[in-house]
Amino acid sequence: MLLDNETLRKVQLKELEILLEVKRICEKHQIRFQLYGGTLLGAIRHKGFIPWDDDIDITMLREDYERFLTVAPGEIADGYYVESARSNPDYVYSFCKVKANGTAYIERCTAHLDLHPGIWIDIFPLDNIPEIDYEVLDRRDLRIRRWQTAVDYNAGIITLNKLTSVLYFKLLSIFNRHKLMHKKECVMQEANSSNGKYVVDYYSLYGYRKAIFPMATYTDLIDVEFEGHMFPVVRDYHGVLTQTFGDYMQLPPVEKRISEHGIIHCEV
């Protein structure tokens, strides 16, 4: 379903409420986070949401992300819920979402799963790597994608047609979904104990190669305006946005100014 402008704006403002609650928790517990992806782009280009965007993305270094998952469930205000694979066995992502109770924003691909239905923001972890070795990273990325395919197949999100693929992923499905998620996250984090000179988002929609940056990029932060509030972003936002989007100040064609979440039900 396509949201009318009024409903989309209501969704955005509810997400802003969630973001402010996450910011409160992070500031209280000295957890670093920064605006990320399309939300970072919106902050720099529009000083708020990209007008047609319907979600908020933030990111945290892995150590901050793990601390957030530890403290946030007991700290978060009434009316919000932290959902991850640790809190819900039906959850299928290796990043967490913070959701608003009493709302609904349901994607077609996961509508059959027992997930919290609420409007959300996404929080992505950044993992360490000691160096940029694409041969090693490509192999790791393939392993991560295989485990995610196994999770998606197990959850009924995707079907497979090739006999060899079906047999392979049926074999993997002897593991329950929690174990599949755990194995995937172990691969994502397997280099974290090394001397991490770089960070990477293996979950990037733009491919992990566009999401590799020096560690210092994500520890050197400044505040910028987003929807009338100040939030942290990387100081080198120009470098990050250019690597991710190219000429990020150029608006996309009109026909591409839409959400890609496949929402089938919305209640604000």
User: With bands split at pLDDT 50, 70 and 90, how would you rate the model's confidence at 168?
Assistant: confident
Q: Say what the pLDDT of residue 36 is.
A: 97
Question: Residue 173 pLDDT > 80, yes or no?
Answer: no
Q: Say what the pLDDT of residue 256 is.
A: 85
CA nearest 54: which of 6, 11, 5? Answer: 11
Which domains, from first to last, does the chain contain? 5-130+217-267 (3.30.460)
Range in 89-103, 122-136, 161-175 the model is least confident about: 161-175
Range in 62-71, 134-143, 150-159 the model is least confident about: 150-159
Q: Say what the pLDDT of residue 259 is.
A: 83
> For 199, phi and psi rounded to 5 degrees?
-125, 155
Count of other CB atoms within 10 angstroms of residue 135: 7
Identify any residues that bridge with 221 across adjacent strands, giving them in sequence order: 234
Range in 8-12, 120-124, 178-182, 229-233 the model is least confident about: 178-182
89-103 pLDDT, tens per residue? 899 999 999 999 999
Residues 6+ apart with CB under 8 A from 182: 85
Count of other CB atoms within 10 angstroms of residue 140: 20
Characterize 88-120 residue by residue with b for buried, 16 or more Cβ atoms within 10 angstroms of its Cβ, and e for exposed: beebbbbbbbbbbeebbbbeebbeebebbbbbb
Nearest-angstrom CA–CA distance, 68 and 70? 5
Range in 17-26, 52-61, 77-86, 147-156 the model is least confident about: 147-156
251-260 pLDDT, tens per residue? 999 988 888 7
Q: Say what the pLDDT of residue 87 is.
A: 92
Count of other CB atoms within 10 angstroms of residue 143: 16
